[in-house]
Amino acid sequence: MVNHPGEPALGESLHYVSADLETRRRDDVNLMKMIRSYRGVRHERGQKVRGQRTRSNGRTGMAAGVLKKAAKEAAQAAAKEAAPAPAAAAAPAPKKEKE
């Protein structure tokens, strides 16, 4: 059993372990990205690489509409609370002189 068959540089089938395997896999993916192969482009975009369907499956990182709406309202409420305070602090009221 080998986990790296057909090493391009040596022409041999090798079996890597632990850190060597992680390094070799990262190097292979970076090579695919550099030569702009189909698999490399899929890796760059964070999409499925091995031919899985993507139309209805693997939807990660998307916010639900209700959550997005609630977050937007919370941000607007925080902005309203924070807006008057800096304006008052920026321009101090002039002092009246006694005559």
More confident residue, 40 or 8: 40
pLDDT value of residue 58: 74
Q: Give me the mean pLDDT over the 49-75 stretch.
A: 76
* pTM of structure: 0.51
pLDDT value of residue 36: 93
CB 49 within 8 A of CB 59: no
Alpha-carbon distance 36 to 29, whole Å?
Answer: 10
Token output for 32: 């695919």
* CATH code for residues 1-58: 4.10.910
Residue 42: closest CA among 62, 64, 58: 58
Question: How large is the angle between the packed helices 18-34 and 38-45, nearest 10 degrees?
Answer: 110
Q: Give me the mean pLDDT over the 82-87 stretch.
A: 61
